[in-house]
């Protein structure tokens, strides 16, 4: 008989078997009755001799089955029925797992994109970024180590000429906004500057045309541009004739030499690429280039390392004499991930902890359910069910629930991935975006398997402890001593992990509060700012630039309600320009250093209400022909000059000697030189917009878009349009690229902290909820289980309060255990947050004590609330039941 | 799963096959025959016959058909197939070899005691 026919004739087989067994018993009975037994006696004897008919019949059937598969299917059906019967329980479990697994999947897709997924380039393992490692001992004896990917023009030339084992390319990591003129319309587009070899290094071939030539990549070389596929399609309708034609970028013609293939990704979201034209002067005098290298076919990384080891770019030898600098090749992916790595891994740990807490909590719920099913299990054991079948069923339910949770969680992650990514500031997202691929799915599957095995381990072992005959002692204590202790441990572990998460979230909240409550140093109300790109040869001429600024500001002051108007190279909350400056005469002595700086118009301080503490602000009399002057802020005076009595001191900017004429208050700004906090009171000096020369304007406007700012007496309706009209009076072809309030800028500067706080608060809130529900469930189950015992105790004279404390106490012991271990764990675990904290230490006692007390008080409530039901226990009824 | 074993694995099946070699029988008669022949020395749980029969049906060693017994009862009668016949001969001869071995090992021990 082949298996196919067996499959369909099985029901007939089964009924044959039952009938046969029935006939057998009947024949036996008849024979025994014929031998003189009564019918009842005969029936009993026949059954005794036959053995367990049900079991034997089942075993007979099993001969026809693929038993393991069918057993599993049967257990599955049974588990489904059980879950359908308790929709509330099922819903809660699946919902918890959906959230936990969904969050893990989404965050892991980020980790995957950042650290695991190969970069979308040919042979990505042969790509490396050039990094400079600075090491040394600081004056206080602290060891200092820092890795940086920014390089100057000298380093670029050194690497280009002296490392034969690689093909290097210089590039700017991000894109900047420039103006493109098409058919007399000005468009604001994103441009990334890259060197001639850049696309060769990444291994991207243009769809049309060619890459840049070496000639185009020399300073002042021919102007060429390569378009992105999407931009080419949308702006030039995919016209191949565009190749060789000129388009007007920044007011100058650039020849289109190539179009990139669709989906080609570089390190920035760019509409077009232009040659970076690296050199030693101008931007090449600072660490403004990134360098990516491709290993040549017959070379090894060891050769590259030895070739790099002998190179010593001079820049850092001049500025940081106490440090040793070393160039190294860092895997490209690792270098791209550098700053995002820690926050992403912190987030991953947090969601991992959530999954653990959820699993612990669900285990508790399952154990309670199992303890309520003890009678059913006993009955089945007594009827001859093998213990293995009971255990298999105890595993099937967690498996089924985890699978349901995994599917819903995956669906949640798929649907929510876009909104999840939108939470993050663009520079915190991994390069190439996040998506759910095979690796993420495998991770989700592993999570699911992990959760079901974790829960199953407890339910299976607990079901193995059920005895057919309950002991009297068992009845008293609820027969669940082992699972009871397990539940206490689980709750303790939940509380422990929750404390760590809460403390972490608390520290991040305190960081954000610290950064936000730093005094801004200016008045942001009623100020509107707007940026425009001056990266245009017309405005490289100082006279043209000055008249544009003067005319547009004059027009803006005509807008009704406007109190003052100004222009500045950068605003508070924006990264400033870094420039070298020489201290010529100061109490602290002569020095050469780098500092944040900006050119400004005379009304800048008035418009932003930055206080002038000594001397004066700039005036219209500070012209290009008058004495060069600077204004410094308090941080600059204290850190670099060593005195607040600054008026009359002198600074050297290049070859120019400037007099310090004023001292102003600090403003909050992201750091320029060293990353010590997202916002701080940076040392800064200001120069008048009239005292800058052509190379300076050309250089800084390639990087920065200056801001126009207008202070109104109150809110002014239609201000953006009025500002644009005012600018157009000075230059009809110059658009503002964007308008911002200063609050917007602060939000942007703190966006990473904000999203970290948001996510960790939500996650720790979830953990908190799960733990408190867990404590409540533990104690309330205790009340149910110990009902009889409590009744007897009260009948024997135990007071209500005493009974409540006894029961709640066991919950509190678990909580206390959890808090204790949580505090110890925090001491280690919170170290990972160190790099993300500002204005608060990673072991901040106030935060730790605060969250412990918060958790403790919530746990107290959750422990005592269920014990109120003890009041309803009637001792007399209990005694009657005994 | 805990398997209730008879004397040794396969013994019950071998006895069934050996019995069926002589004549075709239904379940009840089979059990009675085995019990009787062994002078009730072998305490076989009557029901344990059926899983064994099902297994042999599946393996094609026996075939079954419903019929009416001599006493006029509706019974399912089992009959050895050709393959079952070969199988039992193989099994019995290997069993006899094993039994002989066991007897030889046990014999001196018995003399000594």
Q: Give Cβ neighbours of residue A95 (< 8 Å, ≥ 6 apart).
A: none
Q: For chain A, what is the largest distance between any 2 Cα atoms, rounded to a whole number of angstroms?
A: 138
Q: From the list A13, A23, A28, which residue is nearest B75 (CB)? A: A23
Enclosing H/E stretch for A258 = strand A252-259
Give the pLDDT of residue A228.
Answer: 93
Q: What angle do CA A514, A519, A524 make, to 5 degrees?
A: 120
Q: Flag whether pLDDT at A20 surpasses 60.
A: yes
Between A72 and A332, where is the model more confident?
A: A332
Between A432 and A717, where is the model more confident?
A: A717
Q: Flag whether pLDDT at A477 surpasses 60.
A: no
Tens-digit pLDDT profile for residues A737-776 = 888 888 888 888 888 888 888 888 999 998 999 888 888 8
Between A293 and A863, where is the model more confident?
A: A293
Between B91 and A657, where is the model more confident?
A: A657
Structure tokens at A320: 């940081």
**Residues A463, A385: Cα–Cα separation, whole Å:** 13
**Residues A152, B29: Cα–Cα separation, whole Å:** 101
pLDDT band at A870 (very low <50, low <70, confident <90, very high): confident
Residue of B nearest to A27 (CA): B28
CA gyration radius, chain B = 16
pLDDT band at A874 (very low <50, low <70, confident <90, very high): confident
Cβ proximity of A598 and A570 under 8 Å: yes
Closest CA of chain B from A406, distance in Å: 31
Closest CA of chain A from B77, distance in Å: 10
Cβ proximity of A151 and A287 under 8 Å: yes
**Residues A288, A195: Cα–Cα separation, whole Å:** 13
Closest CA of chain B from A391, distance in Å: 12
Check CB contact under 8 Å for A49 and B50: no
A109 burial level (CB within 10 Å; 0-12, 13-18, 19+): buried
- Best-predicted range by mean pLDDT among A80-84, A560-564, A717-721, A830-834? A560-564
**Residues A856, A507: Cα–Cα separation, whole Å:** 19
Residue of B nearest to A18 (CA): B50
Cβ proximity of A568 and A706 under 8 Å: yes
Structure tokens at A770: 């799960």
Residue numbers in B near A49 (CB within 8 A):
45-46
Enclosing H/E stretch for A531 = strand A527-531
Check CB contact under 8 Å for A56 and B50: yes
Q: What is the average pLDDT across A222-249? A: 90
Enclosing H/E stretch for A563 = strand A562-568
Lowest mean pLDDT segment, chosen from A192-196, A273-277, B46-50: B46-50
Q: From the list B26, B28, B51, which residue is nearest A56 (CB)? A: B51
Q: Flag whether pLDDT at A42 surpasses 50.
A: yes
Give the pLDDT of residue A675.
Answer: 56
pLDDT band at B40 (very low <50, low <70, confident <90, very high): low
Q: Flag whether pLDDT at B2 surpasses 60.
A: no
B97 CB within 8 Å of a chain A CB: no
Q: From the list A13, A23, A60, which residue is nearest B51 (CB)? A: A60
- The three-state secondary structure class of A41 is helix
pLDDT band at A878 (very low <50, low <70, confident <90, very high): confident
Tens-digit pLDDT profile for residues A161-183 = 999 999 999 998 888 888 888 77
Lowest mean pLDDT segment, chosen from A29-38, A188-197, A628-637: A29-38
Closest CA of chain A from B81, distance in Å: 13
Structure tokens at A263: 């989906």
Give the pLDDT of residue A394.
Answer: 85
Give the pLDDT of residue A282.
Answer: 73
Cβ proximity of A552 and A726 under 8 Å: yes
pLDDT band at A331 (very low <50, low <70, confident <90, very high): very high
Phi and psi at residue A518, to the nearest 5°: -55, 135
Closest CA of chain A from B101, distance in Å: 32
- Please identify among residues 7-66 of chain B the ones whose CB lies closer than 8 Å to any CB of chain A: 26-28, 45-48, 50-51, 53-55, 57-58, 60, 64, 66
Check CB contact under 8 Å for B46 and A388: no
Give the pLDDT of residue A483.
Answer: 57
Q: Flag whether pLDDT at A508 surpasses 50.
A: yes
HEC string of A85-151 equals HCHHHHHHHHHHHHHHHHHHHHHHHHHHHHHHCCCCCCCHHHEEEEEEEEEEECCCCCEEEEEECCE
Check CB contact under 8 Å for A63 and B48: no
**For residue A521, what is the DSSP state?**
S
pLDDT band at A530 (very low <50, low <70, confident <90, very high): very high
- Best-predicted range by mean pLDDT among A165-169, A321-325, B1-5? A165-169
Unique residue bearing structure tokens 């520079």: A427
Tens-digit pLDDT profile for residues A337-367 = 887 888 888 899 999 999 999 999 899 888 8
Q: Flag whether pLDDT at A264 surpasses 50.
A: yes
**Residues B58, B50: Cα–Cα separation, whole Å:** 12
Check CB contact under 8 Å for A50 and B64: no
Q: Flag whether pLDDT at A194 surpasses 60.
A: yes
Structure tokens at A541: 């001429």
Comparing CA positions, the residue from A212, A278, A384 lying closest to residue A702 is: A278
Comparing CA positions, the residue from A164, A261, A257, A179 lying closest to residue A216 is: A257
Q: Flag whether pLDDT at B38 surpasses 80.
A: no
Unique residue bearing structure tokens 């899983």: B51
Q: From the list B1, B48, B60, which residue is nearest A56 (CB)? A: B48
Check CB contact under 8 Å for B46 and A24: yes
Residue numbers in A near B73 (CB within 8 A):
23, 27
- The three-state secondary structure class of A569 is coil
Cβ proximity of A708 and A530 under 8 Å: yes
Q: From the list B2, B48, B50, which residue is nearest A20 (CB)? A: B50
- The three-state secondary structure class of A710 is strand
pLDDT band at B42 (very low <50, low <70, confident <90, very high): low
Between A323 and B62, where is the model more confident?
A: B62
Q: From the list A27, A28, A64, which residue is nearest B54 (CB)? A: A64
Q: Flag whether pLDDT at B5 surpasses 50.
A: no
**Residues A658, A630: Cα–Cα separation, whole Å:** 6
Q: Flag whether pLDDT at A577 surpasses 90.
A: no
HEC string of A159-189 equals HHHHCCCEEEEEECCCCEEEEEEECCEEEEE
Q: Flag whether pLDDT at A60 surpasses 60.
A: yes
Q: What is the average pLDDT across A292-311? A: 91
Check CB contact under 8 Å for B50 and A60: yes
Closest CA of chain B from A26, distance in Å: 10
Q: Give Cβ neighbours of residue A845 (< 8 Å, ≥ 6 apart).
A: none
Give the pLDDT of residue A665.
Answer: 93
**Residues A842, A833: Cα–Cα separation, whole Å:** 7
B2 CB within 8 Å of a chain A CB: yes
Residue numbers in B near A13 (CB within 8 A):
54
Beta bridge partners of A564: A711
Average pLDDT, chain A: 86
Check CB contact under 8 Å for B51 and A62: yes
Q: What is the average pLDDT across A147-160? A: 88
Check CB contact under 8 Å for B46 and A21: no
Q: Flag whether pLDDT at A547 surpasses 90.
A: yes
Lowest mean pLDDT segment, chosen from A570-579, A686-695, B40-49, B92-101: B40-49
Phi and psi at residue A42, to the nearest 5°: -60, -45
Closest CA of chain A from B55, distance in Å: 5
Residue of A nearest to B43 (CA): A49
Residue A12 CA from chain centroid, whole number: 61
pLDDT band at A94 (very low <50, low <70, confident <90, very high): very high
Cβ proximity of A479 and A367 under 8 Å: no
Tens-digit pLDDT profile for residues A837-848 = 888 888 888 999
pLDDT band at B113 (very low <50, low <70, confident <90, very high): very low
Enclosing H/E stretch for A248 = strand A246-249
**For residue A289, what is the DSSP state?**
B
**Residues B78, B47: Cα–Cα separation, whole Å:** 16
B76 CB within 8 Å of a chain A CB: yes
Give the pLDDT of residue A1.
Answer: 46
Check CB contact under 8 Å for A50 and B45: yes
Give the pLDDT of residue B3.
Answer: 41
Q: Flag whether pLDDT at A105 surpasses 90.
A: yes
Check CB contact under 8 Å for A24 and B74: no
**Residues A723, A560: Cα–Cα separation, whole Å:** 11
Q: What is the average pLDDT across A566-585? A: 88
Give the pLDDT of residue B16.
Answer: 84
Cβ proximity of A503 and A761 under 8 Å: no
Q: From the list A16, A17, A23, which residue is nearest B73 (CB)? A: A23
Give the pLDDT of residue A317.
Answer: 60
B73 CB within 8 Å of a chain A CB: yes
pLDDT band at A711 (very low <50, low <70, confident <90, very high): very high
Check CB contact under 8 Å for B50 and A17: yes
| % of chain A at pLDDT higher than 90 | 35
* Mutation to test the A interface, candidates B51, B68, B73, most A Cβ within 10 Å: B51
Residue of B nearest to A64 (CA): B58
Check CB contact under 8 Å for A52 and B47: yes
Check CB contact under 8 Å for A60 and B76: no
Residue of B nearest to A10 (CA): B58
In sequence order, which ranges of A237-331 are alpha helices (DSSP H)?
Answer: 301-309, 315-319
pLDDT band at A550 (very low <50, low <70, confident <90, very high): very high
Q: Flag whether pLDDT at A677 surpasses 80.
A: no
Closest CA of chain B from A64, distance in Å: 7
Unique residue bearing structure tokens 């070393």: A326
Give the pLDDT of residue A319.
Answer: 56
Check CB contact under 8 Å for B51 and A388: no
Q: Strand locations in A576-728, DSSP E?
A: 577-585, 591-600, 612-615, 629-633, 650-653, 656-664, 684-688, 707-712
Q: What is the average pLDDT across A464-469? A: 76
Residue numbers in B near A63 (CB within 8 A):
51, 54-55, 57-58
Check CB contact under 8 Å for A27 and B73: yes
Cβ proximity of A599 and A569 under 8 Å: yes
Residue numbers in B near A59 (CB within 8 A):
51
Between A348 and A18, where is the model more confident?
A: A348
Q: What is the average pLDDT across A259-283? A: 87
Lowest mean pLDDT segment, chosen from A344-358, A446-460, A828-842: A828-842
Check CB contact under 8 Å for B47 and A50: yes
Structure tokens at A122: 């040919």
**Residues A749, A668: Cα–Cα separation, whole Å:** 10
Counting one residue from A and one from B, how many pairs have CB atoms under 8 Å apart? 64
Q: Give Cβ neighbours of residue B51 (< 8 Å, ≥ 6 apart).
A: A56, A59, A60, A62, A63
């Amino acid at each position: 008989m082949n298996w196919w026919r067996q499959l369909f004739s099985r029901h007939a087989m089964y009924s044959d078997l039952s009938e046969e067994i029935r006939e057998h018993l009947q024949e036996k009975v008849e024979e025994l009755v014929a031998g003189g037994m009564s019918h009842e006696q005969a029936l009993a004897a026949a059954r005794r001799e036959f053995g367990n008919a049900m079991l034997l019949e089942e075993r007979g059937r099993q001969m026809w089955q693929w038993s393991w598969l069918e057993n599993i299917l049967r257990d599955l059906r049974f588990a489904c029925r059980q879950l359908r019967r308790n929709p509330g329980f099922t819903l809660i479990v699946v919902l918890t797992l959906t959230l936990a697994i969904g969050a893990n999947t989404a965050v892991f897709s980020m980790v995957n994109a950042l650290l695991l997924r190969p970069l979308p380039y040919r042979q990505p393992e042969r790509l490396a970024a050039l990094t400079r490692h600075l090491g040394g001992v600081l004056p206080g004896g602290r060891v200092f180590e820092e890795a940086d990917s920014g390089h100057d023009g000298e380093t670029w030339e050194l690497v280009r000429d002296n490392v034969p084992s690689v093909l290097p390319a210089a590039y700017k990591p991000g894109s900047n906004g420039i103006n493109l003129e098409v058919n007399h319309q000005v468009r604001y587009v994103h441009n990334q500057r890259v060197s001639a070899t850049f696309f060769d290094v990444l291994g991207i071939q243009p769809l049309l045309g060619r890459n840049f030539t070496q000639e185009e990549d020399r300073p002042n070389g021919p102007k060429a541009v390569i378009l992105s596929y999407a931009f080419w399609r949308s702006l030039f309708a995919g016209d191949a004739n565009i190749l060789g034609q000129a388009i007007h970028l920044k007011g100058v013609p650039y020849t289109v030499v190539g179009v990139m293939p669709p989906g080609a990704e570089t390190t920035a979201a760019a509409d077009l690429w232009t040659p970076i034209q690296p050199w030693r002067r101008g931007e090449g005098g600072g660490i403004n280039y990134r360098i990516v290298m491709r290993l040549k076919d017959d070379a090894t990384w060891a050769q590259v390392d030895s070739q790099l080891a002998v190179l010593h770019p001079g820049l850092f030898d001049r500025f940081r004499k106490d440090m040793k600098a070393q160039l190294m090749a860092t895997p490209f992916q690792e270098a791209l991930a550098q700053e995002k790595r820690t926050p992403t891994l912190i987030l991953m740990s947090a969601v991992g902890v959530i999954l653990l807490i959820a699993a612990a909590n669900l285990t508790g719920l399952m154990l309670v359910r199992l303890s309520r099913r003890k009678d059913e299990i006993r009955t089945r054991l007594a009827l001859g069910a093998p213990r293995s079948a009971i255990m298999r069923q105890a595993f099937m339910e967690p498996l089924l629930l985890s699978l349901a949770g995994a599917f819903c969680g995956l669906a949640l992650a798929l649907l929510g991935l876009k909104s999840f990514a939108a939470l993050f500031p663009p520079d915190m997202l991994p390069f190439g975006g996040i998506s759910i691929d095979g690796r993420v799915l495998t991770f989700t599957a592993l999570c699911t398997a992990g959760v079901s095995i974790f829960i199953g381990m407890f339910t299976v072992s607990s079901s193995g402890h059920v005895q057919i005959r309950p002991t009297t002692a068992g009845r008293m204590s609820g027969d669940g001593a082992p699972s009871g202790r397990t539940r206490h441990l689980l709750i303790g572990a939940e509380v422990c992990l929750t404390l760590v998460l809460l403390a972490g979230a608390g520290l991040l909240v305190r960081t954000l509060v610290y950064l936000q409550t730093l005094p801004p140093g200016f008045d942001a109300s009623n100020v509107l700012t707007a940026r425009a790109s001056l990266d245009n040869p017309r405005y490289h001429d100082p006279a043209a630039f000055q008249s544009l600024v003067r005319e547009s500001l004059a027009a803006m002051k005509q807008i009704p309600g406007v109190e003052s108007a100004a222009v500045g190279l950068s605003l508070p909350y924006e990264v400033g320009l870094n420039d070298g400056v020489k201290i010529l005469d100061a109490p602290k002595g002569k020095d050469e250093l780098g500092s944040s700086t900006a050119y400004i118009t005379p009304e800048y301080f008035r418009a932003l209400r930055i206080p002038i503490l000594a001397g004066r602000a700039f005036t219209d009399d500070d012209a290009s022909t008058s004495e060069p002057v600077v204004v410094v802020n308090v941080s600059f005076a204290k850190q670099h000059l060593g005195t607040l009595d600054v008026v009359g001191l002198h600074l050297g900017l290049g070859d120019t000697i400037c007099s310090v004429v004023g001292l102003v208050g600090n403003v909050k700004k992201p750091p320029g030189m060293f990353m010590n906090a997202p916002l701080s009171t940076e040392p800064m000096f200001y120069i008048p917009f009239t005292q800058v020369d052509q190379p300076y304007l050309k250089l800084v406007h390639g990087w920065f878009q200056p801001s126009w700012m207008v202070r109104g007496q109150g809110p002014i309706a239609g201000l953006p349009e009025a500002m644009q009209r005012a600018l157009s009076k000075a230059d009809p072809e110059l658009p503002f690229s964007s308008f911002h309030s200063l609050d917007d800028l602060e939000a942007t500067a703190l966006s990473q902290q904000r999203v970290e706080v948001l996510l960790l608060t939500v996650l720790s809130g979830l953990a908190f909820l799960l733990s408190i529900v867990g404590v409540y469930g533990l104690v309330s189950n205790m009340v149910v289980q110990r009902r009889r015992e409590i009744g007897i105790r009260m009948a024997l004279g135990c007071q209500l309060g005493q009974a409540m404390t006894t029961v709640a106490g066991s919950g509190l012991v678990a909580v206390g255990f959890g808090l204790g271990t949580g505090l110890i764990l925090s001491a280690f675990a919170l170290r990972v947050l160190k790099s993300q904290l500002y204005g608060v230490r990673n072991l901040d006692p106030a935060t730790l004590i605060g969250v412990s007390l918060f958790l403790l008080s919530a746990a107290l409530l959750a422990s005592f609330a269920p014990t109120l039901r003890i009041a309803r226990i009637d001792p007399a009824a209990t005694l009657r039941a005994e | 799963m805990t398997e209730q074993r008879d004397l040794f694995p396969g013994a019950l099946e071998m006895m069934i096959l050996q019995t069926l070699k002589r004549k075709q029988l239904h379940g009840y008669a089979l059990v009675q025959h085995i019990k009787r022949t062994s002078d009730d020395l072998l305490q076989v749980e009557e029901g344990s016959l059926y899983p064994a029969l099902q297994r042999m049906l599946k393996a094609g060693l026996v075939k079954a058909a419903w019929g009416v017994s001599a006493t006029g009862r509706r019974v399912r009668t089992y009959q050895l197939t050709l393959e079952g016949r070969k199988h039992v001969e193989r099994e019995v001869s290997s069993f006899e070899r094993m039994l002989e071995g066991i007897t030889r090992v046990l014999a001196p021990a018995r003399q000594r005691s």
